[in-house]
A and B are shown apart, each in its own frame.
Chain A
Amino acid sequence: MQSNSLLGLGWLKGTALMLLLLSGVASAVEDVVSFSDESLRPRYQQLLEELRCPKCQNQNLADSNSAISQDLRAEVQRLLEQDLTDAEIKEYLKNRYSEFILYRPEVNRATGFLWAAPVVLVLLGGLIILRLSRRKMPSQGEKVVSSVRSVDQQQRLDKLLNSHKRGSE
Chain B
Amino acid sequence: MNRLTLFIPFALCLALGAFLFFSLGKDPLDLPSALVDEAFPEFALEELHEPERQLSTDDFDGQVLLVNVWATWCFACRVEHPWLNSLAKEGVVIVGLNYKDHRKLAQDWLQERGDPYQFSIFDPRGVLGIDLGVYGAPETYLVDAEGIIRHRRVGVVDERVWNEEFRDLYQQLVDEANAE
Contact with A along B25-69 (1 / 0, CB 8 A): 000110111110000000000000000000000000000000000
**Beyond A55-B136, A68-B135, A98-B133, 18 additional pairs, beta carbon < 8 A:** A54-B31, A54-B133, A54-B135, A55-B135, A67-B100, A68-B136, A71-B126, A72-B130, A75-B130, A95-B34, A96-B34, A96-B132, A97-B34, A97-B133, A97-B135, A98-B32, A98-B34, A99-B34
Interface residue A94 (Cβ < 8 Å from any Cβ of B) = yes
Per the bound structure, the CA–CA distance linking A71 and B136 in Å amounts to 12
> What A residues does B32 contact at CB under 8 A?
98-100
- Name the residue on A nearest B131 (C-beta): A96
* Cβ-defined partner of A71 (8 Å) among B34, B35, B130, B132: B130
Q: A57-B28, A71-B130, A72-B130 are in contact. Are A98 and B136 (CB under 8 A)?
A: no
A38 to chain B, nearest CB (A): 26
Per the bound structure, the CA–CA distance linking A67 and B73 in Å amounts to 12
Per the bound structure, the CA–CA distance linking A137 and B2 in Å amounts to 20
Per the bound structure, the CA–CA distance linking A97 and B34 in Å amounts to 6
A selection of 11 A-B contacts at a CB cut-off of 8 Å is: A54-B31, A72-B130, A95-B34, A96-B34, A96-B130, A97-B31, A97-B135, A98-B32, A98-B34, A100-B31, A100-B32
Number of interface residues of B (CB under 8 A): 16
- Name the residue on B nearest A72 (C-beta): B130
Interface of A is mostly: helix
Per the bound structure, the CA–CA distance linking A97 and B132 in Å amounts to 8
> What B residues does A67 contact at CB under 8 A?
100
Number of interface residues of A (CB under 8 A): 15
> What A residues does B130 contact at CB under 8 A?
71-72, 75, 96
- Name the residue on B nearest A56 (C-beta): B135
B92 to chain A, nearest CB (A): 26
> What B residues does A75 contact at CB under 8 A?
130
> What A residues does B100 contact at CB under 8 A?
67
Could you tell me if B133 and A96 are in contact, using CB atoms closer than 8 angstroms? yes
Q: Which residues of A93-114 are within 8 A (CB) of B?
A: 94-100
Per the bound structure, the CA–CA distance linking A13 and B135 in Å amounts to 37
- Name the residue on A nearest B125 (C-beta): A71
> What B residues does A99 contact at CB under 8 A?
32, 34
Contact with B along A71-101 (1 / 0, CB 8 A): 1100100000000000000000011111110
> What A residues does B133 contact at CB under 8 A?
54, 96-98
- Name the residue on A nearest B36 (C-beta): A98
